[in-house]
Amino acid sequence: MVLKKKKHCYIRTFGCQMNVHDSEQMVELLEKGGYETTSDMARADLIIVNTCSVREKAEQKIHSFLGRLRRDKEKNPDLIIGIAGCVAQQWGRNFLDKVHHLDFVLGTHNIHRLPEIVKDVESSRSRIAETTFRKSVQSLGILTIPKNGKVNAFVTIMQGCNNFCAYCIVPYLRGREESRKSSEILDEIRFLAAHGVKEVTLLGQNVNSYGNTLKNEADFSTLLAMINGVEGIERIRFTTSHPKDLSDELIESFVTLDKLCEHIHLPIQSGSDSVLKRMRRGYTSQDYLARVEKLRARCPDISITTDIIVGFPGESDEDFQKTIDLMRKVRFDNLFSFKYSDRPGIASESYNDKVEEKVKSERLSFLQNLQETHTLEKNRGLEGKEEEVLIEGASKGSEEEMTGRTRTNRIVNLPGENGLTGKTVPVKIVRAYMHSLRGELLPGREV
Ligand code: SAH
Ligand code: SF4
Ligand code: F3S
């Protein structure tokens, strides 16, 4: 008898949490189709690069990664190489002309078609590009069974975006906004709970407008209340919120829903009203501050994180100073900051007064230094305090160390045993660092 050799697939993921989840779905589909995943690219029979195009640098990274794969294909002509995600969507069929060692291009709405496409490539060695936009959110519902005892999982509640912020390529690559039915979302979350998941993170480009594209569907805060009732789920998170759509009902959810964690990622992008206007964000810095004030009045411990772009076309020193002033007012728990980057087809590509690279770099490093002082100050404020920590598993550095997160999404490392994985435990914070906290288990106490 000849034993059939198991085929191996390797997926490299770039980009946002949405892409991470899309890769998890691809793994699920490929494993069902007889592939085994490997973390060793050299062993792979199939390599998929799941890509991001949000900034020019992100796209460049993809092209150089793909370029390096040419050698592997020369050495092993049977190797199948596919590209998925946002750069795949952007280039479509042109990718096949440009990169000759590429076998298939899989657009952002077509993950469910992966098994078929791989089969076709295997059988006929044809080269395939599938980047059709689909209204049916078909790809979103692929169930992924949590691997290696994972206690947290992503659940996509909507695809696409209708906002068309002037700097952003995402709506062009992920299509128009479409929500999934709440009944489907709840079924998926019940399935995850039955497989040991304790924490779900709901994903969407703008979760606040959940339900808008469906008739007689729950709005976002109602959806959260429904998920709060799912047995076995202990924590709910979501990302991302758009400040213009952050409703009072959602703010109240932080008070009324026991499982909703006290953290909100609320990208501001700039503190200058004229920049915000040209970005087409639909709110002013005053509107933003009013939302933050209300969030903190109703939920004093809430952690607020944000995204900021420096060097948007026409951003003056005064505009930048307004961003800094706003940061000092809000004192964000943390933030992601980026240098503005031109993307093909976005509105601001044609704006005048592009900011020099050197000025962008100076602004970015000034802003990041300021944020470091705020992050550390916030983390130090937790020293000596008690926090509920959901243990996610052994920490990377040491076997006797466990790692988990506070409800406010801070990483905590603590001495402990593997048996703690999946448990929510009371922890005393003993030391604060920039990127994590150090804690000690409070023995004999239940949360
Ligand atoms: N849907 C989310 C995030 C989308 S992209 C939201 O609305 O917040 C993630 C972040 O990348 C954005 O918040 C923005 O800060 C940044 N970004 C998007 N396009 C960019 C560009 N052209 N240059 C630099 N940063 C950009
Ligand atoms: Fe991009 Fe704006 Fe949509 Fe976010 S809300 S994905 S920044 S267009
Ligand atoms: Fe990047 Fe696409 Fe996400 S461009 S940020 S991978 S939606």
Torsion on CA atoms 376, 363, 304, 395, rounded to nearest 10: -50
Say whether both 276 and 317 belong to one domain.
Answer: yes
Q: Give the CATH number for residue 149.
A: 3.30.750.210
Q: What percent of the chain has pLDDT over 90?
A: 91
Per-residue pLDDT of 157-178, as tens digits, reads: 999 999 999 999 999 999 999 9
Model pLDDT, residue 113:
95
**Residue 140 is assigned to a structural domain of this protein:** no
Pocket flag, ligand 1, residue 55 (CB < 6 Å): yes
Q: Is the pLDDT of residue 138 over 90?
A: no
Alpha-carbon gap, residue 304 to 414, rounded angstroms: 24
Tally of domains within the chain: 4
Q: Is 191 exposed, middle or buried (0-12, 13-18, 19+ CB in 10 A)?
A: middle
Alpha-carbon gap, residue 49 to 30, rounded angstroms: 14
Q: 163 C-alpha to center of ligand 2: Å?
A: 6
Pocket flag, ligand 1, residue 264 (CB < 6 Å): no
Pocket flag, ligand 1, residue 205 (CB < 6 Å): yes
Pocket flag, ligand 2, residue 266 (CB < 6 Å): no
Model pLDDT, residue 140:
81
**Residue 341 is assigned to a structural domain of this protein:** yes
Q: Which two tokens stand for residue 39?
A: 């973390």
Pocket flag, ligand 2, residue 170 (CB < 6 Å): yes
Per-residue pLDDT of 63-78, as tens digits, reads: 999 999 999 999 999 9
**Residue 137 is assigned to a structural domain of this protein:** no
Confidence of residue 308 (pLDDT cuts 50, 70, 90): very high
Q: Which three-class secondary structure state does DSSP give residue 242?
A: coil
Burial 130-145 (b: 16+ CB within 10 A, else e): bbebbeebebbbbebe
Q: Which domain holds residue 396?
A: 386-441
Q: 55 C-alpha to center of ligand 2: Å?
A: 13
Peptide bond into 240 cis (omega under 30): yes
Decide which of 261, 281, 297 is a domain's last residue: 261
Model pLDDT, residue 14:
97
**Residue 136 is assigned to a structural domain of this protein:** no
Pocket flag, ligand 2, residue 282 (CB < 6 Å): no
Model pLDDT, residue 3:
56
Per-residue pLDDT of 251-267, as tens digits, reads: 999 999 999 999 999 99
Q: Give the CATH number for residue 99.
A: 3.40.50.12160
Alpha-carbon gap, residue 428 to 416, rounded angstroms: 13
Pocket flag, ligand 1, residue 238 (CB < 6 Å): no
Say whether both 426 and 324 belong to one domain.
Answer: no
Residue 102's Cα: distance from chain center in Å? 27
Say whether both 224 and 278 belong to one domain.
Answer: no
**pLDDT, averaged across the chain:** 95
The predicted model scores a pTM of: 0.96
Alpha-carbon gap, residue 242 to 148, rounded angstroms: 33
Residue whose CA is closest, atom 7 of ligand 3?
Answer: 170
Residue whose CA is closest, atom 1 of ligand 1?
Answer: 205
Say whether both 375 and 391 belong to one domain.
Answer: no
Pocket flag, ligand 1, residue 86 (CB < 6 Å): no
Say whether both 55 and 115 belong to one domain.
Answer: yes
Decide which of 261, 295, 319 is a domain's last residue: 261
Angular region, 238: left φ>0, alpha ψ -120 to 50, beta rest: beta
Say whether both 13 and 125 belong to one domain.
Answer: yes
Q: Give the CATH number for residue 316.
A: 3.30.750.200
Q: Are 213 and 178 in contact (CB under 8 A)?
A: yes
Cβ contacts of residue 414 below 8 Å, gap of 6+? 389, 401, 402, 403, 404, 427, 438, 439, 440, 441
Per-residue pLDDT of 2-15, as tens digits, reads: 556 789 999 999 99
Q: 280 C-alpha to center of ligand 1: Å?
A: 13
Pocket flag, ligand 2, residue 171 (CB < 6 Å): yes
Strands of the sheet containing 46-51, edge to edge, are 35-37, 7-13, 46-51, 80-84, 104-106, 128-130
**Residue 2 is assigned to a structural domain of this protein:** no
Q: Are 312 and 346 in contact (CB under 8 A)?
A: no
Q: What is the mean pLDDT of residues 92-117?
A: 96
Find, among 321, 240, 251, the residue nearest to 281 by Cα: 240
State whether the Cα torsion 54-55-61-64 is positive or negative.
positive
**Residue 56 is assigned to a structural domain of this protein:** yes
Say whether both 326 and 399 belong to one domain.
Answer: no
Q: Are 416 and 401 in contact (CB under 8 A)?
A: yes
Pocket flag, ligand 3, residue 413 (CB < 6 Å): no
Alpha-carbon gap, residue 127 to 2, rounded angstroms: 30
Model pLDDT, residue 91:
96
**Residue 447 is assigned to a structural domain of this protein:** no
Model pLDDT, residue 1:
54
Say whether both 172 and 94 belong to one domain.
Answer: no
Decide which of 86, 101, 130 is a domain's last residue: 130
**Residue 138 is assigned to a structural domain of this protein:** no
Q: Which ligand is nearest to the CA of 203?
A: 1
Model pLDDT, residue 131:
95
Say whether both 53 and 158 belong to one domain.
Answer: no
Cβ contacts of residue 261 below 8 Å, gap of 6+? 235, 236, 237, 407, 408, 409
Say whether both 125 and 178 belong to one domain.
Answer: no
Q: What percent of the chain has pLDDT over 70?
A: 98
Q: Which ligand is nearest to the CA of 336?
A: 1
Q: Give the CATH number for residue 409.
A: 2.40.50.140
Q: 179 C-alpha to center of ligand 1: Å?
A: 21
Pocket flag, ligand 1, residue 249 (CB < 6 Å): no
The residue type found at 200 is V
Q: Is the pLDDT of residue 94 over 70?
A: yes
Say whether both 164 and 216 belong to one domain.
Answer: yes
Q: Is the pLDDT of residue 446 over 70?
A: no
Say whether both 229 and 158 belong to one domain.
Answer: yes
| Ligand 2 atom at shortest distance from the alpha carbon of 269 | 7
Pocket flag, ligand 3, residue 327 (CB < 6 Å): no
Q: 160 C-alpha to center of ligand 2: Å?
A: 9
Pocket flag, ligand 2, residue 86 (CB < 6 Å): no
Q: Which two tokens stand for residue 289?
A: 């501050």
Q: 425 C-alpha to center of ligand 3: Å?
A: 34
Per-residue pLDDT of 365-420, as tens digits, reads: 999 999 999 999 999 999 999 999 999 999 887 778 999 999 999 999 999 988 89
Model pLDDT, residue 393:
94
Q: Are 30 and 9 in contact (CB under 8 A)?
A: yes
